Amino acid sequence: MRDFLDEFYSGRAQADVTKVVDKYTEWPDFAKGNAIQIARDRDIRLVNESDSESNFEVRFKVIGDESNGKVELQETDVVQNFRLRRRRRQWKIMEPIFIPCISVEGELSRLKAAIPNAPDETFLSNARASIALLESRQ
């Protein structure tokens, strides 16, 4: 669970989301969403655990969303509850079937890496403005 969240939260998973999702989950036919929630902090709490299942609550301090390189700021707390099941001596996330939040640092790295291959001028302009906005909030 923590490895999965660490990969997403740090932004390392964004380069190959499908590979990371396959490694840590048993989600059917997962497809990327079109928006990413950006959080400045997270807190993980074990709710309960047995030999074969466990439940975690993860509370994110979300500062905004990003879509097509554009960051929209809106602070809120987001709570995600994860249900894990042990499969062949490894924990896999069963629910929920969506991506957790990404850190501000992870989002900055992701946007900077996307600039050289920007699909269009709109994305490029959005990404540059979003980088400046996020850096001013650090």
Residues β-bridged to residue 73: 64
State the CATH class of domain 2-136: alpha beta
68: left (phi over 0), alpha (psi -120 to 50) or beta: left
Residues 6+ away with beta carbon under 8 Å from 106: 8, 9, 10, 11, 12, 14
Q: How, if at all, do strands 102-103 and 90-95 pair?
A: unpaired
Q: Is the peptide bond before 96 cis (omega within 30 degrees of 0)?
A: yes
The DSSP secondary-structure symbol of 116 reads G
Mean pLDDT value across residues 41-65: 95
The pLDDT tens digits for 95-121 are 888 888 999 999 999 999 999 999 999
The reported pTM is 0.84
